[in-house]
Amino acid sequence: MPSAPEKIQTRAAAGAATAPGNVSPTEIQREIERRRTFAIISHPDAGKTTLTEKLLLYGGAIHLAGSVKARRAARHATSDWMQMEQERGISVTSSVLQFEYEGMRINLLDTPGHQDFSEDTYRTLLAADSAVMLLDNRKGVEEQTRKLFEVCRLRRTPIFTFVNKCDRVGVSPLQLLDDVEADLGIACAAVTWPITDGTSFLGVYDRLGGALHLFEKGGDHGATRLPDRVTGLDDSKLEELLGGPARDRLVEEVELLDAAGAAFDEGAFLRGEVSPTFFGSALTNFGVEPFLRRFLRFAPPPPPREAEGGEVPPDHPEFSGFVFKIQANMDPKHRDRIAFVRVCSGRFDAGATAVNMRSGREVRLARPQTFFAQEREAVETAWPGDVVGVHDRGNLRIGDSLSAKGGIEFPGMPAFSPESFSRVIVPDPLRRKHLDKGLLELSEEGAIQVFFSDGDAGPAPVVGAVGALQFDVLLHRLEHEYGVVARLEPLPYRDARWVTGPEAEIRRVASGYDSRLVRDRAGRPLLLFRNEWVRSSTEERERGKVAFHRMAPEAA
């Protein structure tokens, strides 16, 4: 009797011969091999959105990069499409950027760097096949980078490292590599190396290709591609090109790396054990193109996906995928709602139906689109690794599994307990219906969580967020997207846990000092605590009577 994983593999092999829906095994394999789906993770202000812009620039997807620094200019970062992002110069929601480059189909998932939006980043990482860890060369590994790296480590996601801002004097590159290994426990194999005379950044040396990329500074602040001169370490004019100190420094550091540095091993990289490391400056474009070319060479195509009953290979002939993001009002004129679906197997066809495993109902995948930030393009077909947006009337939720014939269910996405809480106050009672609609749609996006006083929907719902900056986004979007001018009344709670157990016991625990009972939209009880100490002491005292959950009970 074959095991569950073997059953899915066997079905895939059998189905490949018949290829339902006229899907040729050769065609699907070709499309899989040319897909690259990745996310960029970093601490705030490491230059993530700027790097995203430059990858698009060198990939030919845009012809003029808009720096987030130039807020007075008419241009804004391509991936920051939301009005609030453009006003503040920060990313507050994940965006999808899809483009073709040298025959490859690139799905770039740009994520917020700020820790207050870590839930959105976490969900997006589940849809990515690899990640680019962006570091500031003056700061190395920072707290938010460390948290997101742990998410990648748990999933064994292959990780690239790009050391940014090398146009500024920072930590010694050798010291930085040692610090990353000591802090994160992953070996860093330097693929490119910065060429510097100690104060000026002159270019990068591609160790695998033996090529020096010497860059010329442009006069447009990195808005267009830079010309570069490619040469080698044996060039007789190297000293003339670099200067004696820079040449001697480069030769010495390369010899040291060859002797003692971590070697790049593709198998170890795919297992998440070694990170190919690149150096550059996204702002000035130095080192971006060598990184992009190597990335496309090393990044993995879509792999098999874990599901109930075993792995689902990407060449499984039946369509399957999951919803990792919902975004309302991307088009303010039409008040639309888009569900972002990561295709995991088979071929996605416009207008086809699929079974939503949560509800057991068939849903029509209507008007599918691919995205370039806010810009859209209708799509007829998509393949494993692609991200498509389908119009949704409220039938889909984050974490839903979709499959052509049902029977394929991917792990759900957890809802994390918030750390900040406020009541939503609307002075104009005539706007209450608009408020309810806004809170419902924004909570379904995962932007905030909505709770109600126990047994009462109440005149003032309670909103919870992982980070306080999410509240600013909430008020901004309520006003500009739903016409609701609201204010928030902060509540004195900084920790929370979902609880399960006898109702009488839950109410007894909630009656204690410095705690409060609310319920989420599904009616599940959540206990709010004034601080972590109150929560931990309550949890210890009530052990065995009620159970406490960091994530919503069905995902615990």
Domains in the chain, please, with CATH?
A: 4-27+305-403 (2.40.30.10), 40-92+113-298 (3.40.50.300), 420-555 (3.30.70.3280)
For the ranges 110-114, 123-127, 271-275, 277-281, the lowest mean pLDDT is seen at 110-114
Choose among 288, 355, 296: nearest CA to 321.
355
- Phi/psi region, residue 532 (left: phi>0; alpha: psi -120 to 50; beta: rest), is alpha
* pLDDT tier, 24 (very low <50, low <70, confident <90, very high otherwise): confident
Which residue is it, tokens 């695998």? 208
Angle between helical axes of 143-154 and 118-127 (0-180°, round to 10): 30
User: Which range, 90-104, 135-149, 450-464, is most confident?
Assistant: 135-149
Query: Using CA atoms, how far apart are residues 85 and 511, in angstroms rounded to an integer?
Result: 41
- Side-chain-side CA neighbours of residue 156 (13 Å): 10
Q: Residue 298 to residues 135, 191, 257: CA-CA distances in angstroms?
A: 20, 11, 20
Sign for the CA dihedral angle at 89, 91, 93, 96 comes to: positive
- How many H helices and E strands in the chain? 15, 31
The answer to whether 262 touches 145, Cβ cutoff 8 Å, is no
The answer to whether 413 touches 480, Cβ cutoff 8 Å, is no
* Residues paired with residue 499 on neighbouring β-strands, in sequence order: 548
Residue 378's contacts (CB-CB under 8 Å, 6 or more residues apart) are 350, 367, 368, 369
Residue 442 reports pLDDT greater than 90: no
Query: Using CA atoms, how far apart are residues 92 and 118, in angstroms rounded to an integer?
Result: 10
What is the identity of the amino acid at 230? V
Phi, then psi, of 441 in degrees rounded to 5: -70, -40
Alpha helices in 299-378 (DSSP H): none
Whole-prediction pTM value?
0.76
Query: Using CA atoms, how far apart are residues 174 and 308, in angstroms rounded to an integer?
Result: 44
- Chain centroid to CA 57: 20
The answer to whether 52 touches 62, Cβ cutoff 8 Å, is no
Tell me the average pLDDT across 445-456: 75
For the ranges 215-219, 423-427, 431-435, 488-492, the lowest mean pLDDT is seen at 215-219
* pLDDT tier, 2 (very low <50, low <70, confident <90, very high otherwise): very low
Alpha helices in 34-132 (DSSP H): 48-58, 83-88, 118-127
Task: Specify the pLDDT at position 460.
Answer: 77
Angle between helical axes of 432-445 and 469-482 (0-180°, round to 10): 130
Q: Residue 140 to residues 6, 49, 164, 166, 221: CA-CA distances in angstroms?
A: 43, 18, 10, 12, 24
Report the largest interatomic distance among the alpha carbons of the chain, rounded to a whole angstrom.
84
Query: Using CA atoms, how far apart are residues 194 and 200, in angstroms rounded to an integer?
Result: 10
Phi, then psi, of 511 in degrees rounded to 5: -80, -5
Task: Specify the pLDDT at position 58.
Answer: 80
Task: Specify the pLDDT at position 8.
Answer: 47
DSSP 118: H
Angle between helical axes of 173-184 and 143-154 (0-180°, round to 10): 60
* pLDDT tier, 76 (very low <50, low <70, confident <90, very high otherwise): very low
Q: Greater confidence, 523 or 73? A: 523
Tell me the average pLDDT across 353-380: 84
Convert the pLDDT of each residue in 109-164 to its tens digit: 876 544 544 567 778 888 999 999 999 999 998 887 887 888 888 888 999 999 99
Convert the pLDDT of each residue in 34-52 to its tens digit: 999 999 888 878 888 888 8
Query: Using CA atoms, how far apart are residues 100 and 460, in angstroms rounded to an integer?
Result: 48
Tell me the average pLDDT across 441-461: 74
Tell me the average pLDDT across 362-368: 88
* pLDDT tier, 67 (very low <50, low <70, confident <90, very high otherwise): very low
Residue 9 reports pLDDT greater than 60: no
Task: Specify the pLDDT at position 153.
Answer: 86
Q: Greater confidence, 284 or 218? A: 284
Token pair listed for 143: 């707290």
Chain mean pLDDT for the chain: 82
The answer to whether 205 touches 279, Cβ cutoff 8 Å, is no
What is the identity of the amino acid at 297? R
Token pair listed for 327: 């975004």
Task: Specify the pLDDT at position 218.
Answer: 57
Residue 416 reports pLDDT greater than 60: yes
Tell me the average pLDDT across 159-181: 93
Task: Specify the pLDDT at position 276.
Answer: 97
Query: Using CA atoms, how far apart are residues 509 and 503, in angstroms rounded to an integer?
Result: 10
Convert the pLDDT of each residue in 482-499 to its tens digit: 899 999 999 999 889 999
